[in-house]
Amino acid sequence: MEIGFLGKLIEFSASDNMFTGPIPGSMVNLSTLSMLVLGDNELSGGLPGGIQGWKSLNELNLANNKLSGPIPDEIGSLQVLNYLDLSGNYFSGKIPMQLEDLNLNLLNLSNNMLSGALPPLYAKEMYRSSFVGNPGLCGDLKDLCLQEGDSKKQSYLWILRSTFILAVVVFVVGVVWFYFKYQDFQKEKEVVTISKWRSFHKIGFSEFEILDFLREDNVIGSGASGKVYKAVLSNGETVAVKKLGGESKKDNTDGSSEKDEFEAEVETLGRIRHKNIVRLWCCCNTGDCKLLVYEYMPNGSLGDLLHGSKGGSLDWPTRYRIALDAAEGLSYLHHDCVPPIVHRDVKSNNILLDAEFGARVADFGVAKVVQGVNKGTESMSVIAGSCGYIAPEYAYTLRVNEKSDIYSFGVVILELVTGRLPVDPEFGEKDLVKWVCTTLDQNGMDHVIDPKLDSRYRDEISMVLDIGLRCTSSFPIGRPSMRRVVKMLQEAGMGEKPTADKNDEKPSPCYHEEVSDQGSLVQEFRVQT
């Protein structure tokens, strides 16, 4: 259909395309058209005859095309036109004096081939930019017709002025930003200075010394629970400072304040003593700022090493040791603390590595602390765990317990064996657990094990993989306790197949459904070594 037959068309905008050829003559029939924007195309030819038919046209933008010929006098009959841009074309001839009949808010005829005199109404300095770049144009404006050399000079001057103005603006904005950041830091430092510090170990540094390191350039990690800063103290010791945000001023129904809850939770964390758990040196508690000072782990997190650029540097003996160390740390929390402590967010990024790649569990209980700090806010992702690590029963119980930790730890074991992330676009709608089960069923164990691992450890890897699958059973009752996981890992490290216990007859976590006319059949399998 010809566009000219769209009798009720009001606006037509098609700039920045590759339209070529002349403007369709039938467009002059669009009497209701109020906006015509065809800038930045390759249109050629002249304006179609009969443009006086655009009685409702308010905006006409044909800039940066290849249009030529004269500007028709009929353009002065478009009484409601207030935006006219014909710049960057090849229009020639005189500028119609009828333009004075229009009440234009914007007129741009620059960079064409127009000649002759300017309409007296527009022969003013304020309209200079509307006519520049027309070599044959003359009028009362001095130096209106710029030569090529003058044009380049003007361009350079414009660029220079713009660059200078931009530099000044950036400098001023930067100064203002740093000023307010410094003021915030000073206020925060004053608040923390008068706050309550609590030490849990004999420390060789002043707690106030770490405040100078709470700057963005010292951030080494961040997450839902807060930011972590690296602080190199004057005595040469390095610590990690976790800053938890949020206010806690409300009282609970039992009369205790959230501040009291925070201090009670942190007191529990500070009493933990185990070689495979990151030590909490001290803490600070104010109304809106809470700091936890931990020992620093120079090799970072397991997640960064396993899935980052250095993932190939972790051989199997190192991965096995990390799994056993982390299991012993979690076992201590579950079985040797009274009452038992549930980690609530077991994942590879919360397993930190010391200088010898010994593993230590970090952030245990911090999810509960954050719940108290940000009660009623968006902390559910911290409380429930992290994507790919959450036990399936959480969907209908909304509770976490020791079995939830065991499921999450099983995912970590699968990460160590496969070298893959817990969630990956390659898995589609599956997670790592389901991908491992499906791949084992269809292609065998060799397609599951990380190809960077030495095949000499295949039997041991197979036994550890089976432990990971037991931990990620879909049924909480089918998951071994963390004490049992430690025992099975030790047996696997000695080349012994883990001995059976009463839960080993529970359904395997690896299953898939086959649909037939008789319904859905659940198929089970275990890792075959």
Query: For residues 127 and 119, what is the distance between their CA atoms, to the nearest angstrom?
Result: 11
Confidence label for 396 from pLDDT (cuts 50, 70 and 90): confident
Active site residues: 345
Q: pLDDT higher for 16 or 135?
A: 16
Looking at residue 210, what is its pLDDT?
A: 78
Please tell me the CATH superfamily of domain 195-296, with its number: Phosphorylase Kinase; domain 1 (3.30.200.20)
411 pLDDT above the threshold of 60 = yes
Q: pLDDT higher for 496 or 140?
A: 496
Residue 290 host element (H or E) = strand 289-295
92 pLDDT above the threshold of 50 = yes
Domain segments of the chain as ranges: 3-146, 195-296, 299-529
Query: For residues 178 and 94, what is the distance between their CA atoms, to the nearest angstrom?
Result: 56
- The CATH T-level fold of domain 3-146 is 3.80.10
- Count Cβ atoms within 10 A of the Cβ of residue 366 and give its class: 0-12 exposed, 13-18 middle, 19 or more buried: buried
246 pLDDT above the threshold of 70 = no
514 pLDDT above the threshold of 80 = no
Q: Looking at 309-318, 327-336, 400-409, 430-439, which range is the least confident one?
A: 309-318
Q: Looking at 115-129, 329-343, 494-508, which range is the least confident one?
A: 494-508
Q: Looking at 93-102, 160-169, 223-232, which range is the least confident one?
A: 223-232
Known binding residues for ATP are 243
Q: What is the arithmetic mean of pLDDT over 355-367?
A: 82
Average pLDDT, the chain: 82
Looking at residue 286, what is its pLDDT?
A: 65
Q: What is the arithmetic mean of pLDDT over 115-140?
A: 84
Confidence label for 187 from pLDDT (cuts 50, 70 and 90): low
% the chain with pLDDT above 70: 79
Q: What residues contact 462, with CB distance under 8 A and at least 6 apart? A: 445, 527, 529
Q: pLDDT higher for 311 or 97?
A: 97
248 pLDDT above the threshold of 90 = no
Give the highest mean pLDDT range of 12-16, 183-187, 522-526. 12-16
Q: Looking at 28-32, 296-300, 481-485, 511-515, which range is the least confident one?
A: 511-515
237 pLDDT above the threshold of 60 = yes
Confidence label for 144 from pLDDT (cuts 50, 70 and 90): low
Confidence label for 34 from pLDDT (cuts 50, 70 and 90): very high
How far apart, in Å, do the first and last CA atoms of the chain sit? 71
Q: pLDDT higher for 271 or 138?
A: 271
Query: For residues 344 and 385, what is the distance between their CA atoms, to the nearest angstrom?
Result: 6
Confidence label for 288 from pLDDT (cuts 50, 70 and 90): low
SS3 291: strand
Domain 299-529 has CATH 3.40.50.300: no
151 pLDDT above the threshold of 60 = no
- Strand-pair partners of 238: 232
Give the highest mean pLDDT range of 117-126, 168-177, 470-479. 470-479
Q: What is the arithmetic mean of pLDDT over 70-77?
A: 92
Looking at residue 8, what is its pLDDT?
A: 87
Q: pLDDT higher for 501 or 454?
A: 454
- Count Cβ atoms within 10 A of the Cβ of residue 215 and give its class: 0-12 exposed, 13-18 middle, 19 or more buried: exposed
404 pLDDT above the threshold of 90 = yes
Confidence label for 117 from pLDDT (cuts 50, 70 and 90): confident
Known binding residues are 243
